[in-house]
């Protein structure tokens, strides 16, 4: 695969772009400080904007790397991001990216994450040339699984007690799409 980094992407309702230090307030207010958002995530809700700034400093310093993918999700006509979608792991030996995402509660249930992940699927197969896109979720976090399903990823199985998040050790459901699924060959 040919890594391209966090290239700006558009969908009908959203701009997907790199984050900047100026996003700190929106990131803190819109999702990072909310324990309901981080319920099934691996990082704790931010207690202060200093934590958000540190996170952003770390991310923004990595955009120089072409295998670093961390997008802000920004509805058209607004400035501030409402969430992120990113590559949380990749494996060059099998041309695979593993996707993670989160978004603020006021924007749940509007199809925004399905729209974002669908755009990334197109980007990774058609531009980066991956062979496999995968994602996983705590089986109690059904809406996350619904996003993967709606984007056409296939259920590949659940592994018991194989992951950990803010709720402790959990059963994890894995979804994947490979190049031949995408091109229907
Ligand atoms: C998971 C998350 C990204 C979903 O984003 P979203 O934009 O609300 O997702 P969408 O609107 O595209 O789709 C959500 C789907 O789940 C469904 N859903 C919501 N809650 C559900 C539940 N408890 N059980 C089953 N389905 C549920 C919705 O009805 C919708 O399906 P539909 O379009 O068929 O009605 C968002 O809730 C989030 O950021 N949560 C916090 C962070 C997180 O958990 N990230 C994932 C970690 S693996």
| CA–centroid distance, residue 139 to ligand 1 (Å) | 12
| CA–centroid distance, residue 67 to ligand 1 (Å) | 27
Assigned domain for 179 exists: no
What is the dihedral sign for C-alpha 162, 163, 167, 169?
A: positive
Q: Which pTM was predicted? A: 0.97
Assigned domain for 139 exists: no
What secondary structure does DSSP assign to 25-38, as a single string?
A: HHHIIIIIT-TTTS
Assigned domain for 103 exists: yes
Measured CA distances, 77 to 34, 68, 81, 159 (Å): 24, 27, 11, 41
Assigned domain for 157 exists: no
How large is the average pLDDT for residues 74-87? Answer: 97
For 139-179, write each residue's pLDDT tens digit. Answer: 999 999 999 999 999 999 999 999 999 999 999 999 999 99
Q: Write down the pLDDT at residue 74.
A: 98
How far is residue 99's CA from residue 183's CA, in Å, rounded to a whole number?
20
- Among 43, 109, 151, 163, residue to substitute to test ligand 1 (most atoms within 8 Å of Cβ): 109
| CA–centroid distance, residue 4 to ligand 1 (Å) | 28
- Based on the structure, what is the number of domains in the chain? 1
Assigned domain for 4 exists: no
Residue 39 maps to which CATH number? 3.40.630.30
Assigned domain for 21 exists: yes
For 21-38, write each residue's pLDDT tens digit. Answer: 999 999 999 999 999 999
How far is residue 25's CA from residue 43's CA, in Å, rounded to a whole number?
18
Q: What is the mean pLDDT of the chain?
A: 98
Residue 42's domain comprises 9-131
Ligand 1 atom 17: residue of nearest CA:
143
Assigned domain for 146 exists: no
């Amino acid at each position: 695969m040919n890594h391209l980094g966090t290239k700006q992407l558009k969908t009908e309702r959203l701009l997907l772009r790199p984050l900047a230090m100026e996003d700190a307030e929106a990131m803190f207010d819109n999702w990072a400080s909310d324990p309901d958002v981080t319920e099934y995530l691996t990082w704790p809700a931010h207690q202060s904007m200093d934590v958000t700034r540190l996170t952003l400093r770390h991310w923004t310093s990595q955009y120089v790397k072409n295998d670093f993918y961390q997008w802000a999700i920004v509805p058209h006509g607004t400035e501030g991001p409402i969430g992120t979608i990113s590559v949380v792991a990749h494996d060059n030996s099998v041309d695979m990216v593993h996707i993670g995402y989160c978004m603020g509660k006021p924007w749940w249930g509007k199809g925004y994450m399905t729209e974002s992940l669908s755009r990334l699927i197109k980007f990774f197969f058609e531009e980066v040339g991956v062979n496999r896109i995968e994602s996983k979720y705590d089986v109690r976090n059904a809406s996350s699984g619904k996003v993967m399903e709606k984007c056409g990823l296939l259920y590949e199985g659940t592994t018991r007690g194989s992951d950990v998040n803010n709720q402790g050790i959990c059963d994890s459901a894995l979804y994947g799409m490979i190049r031949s699924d995408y091109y229907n060959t």
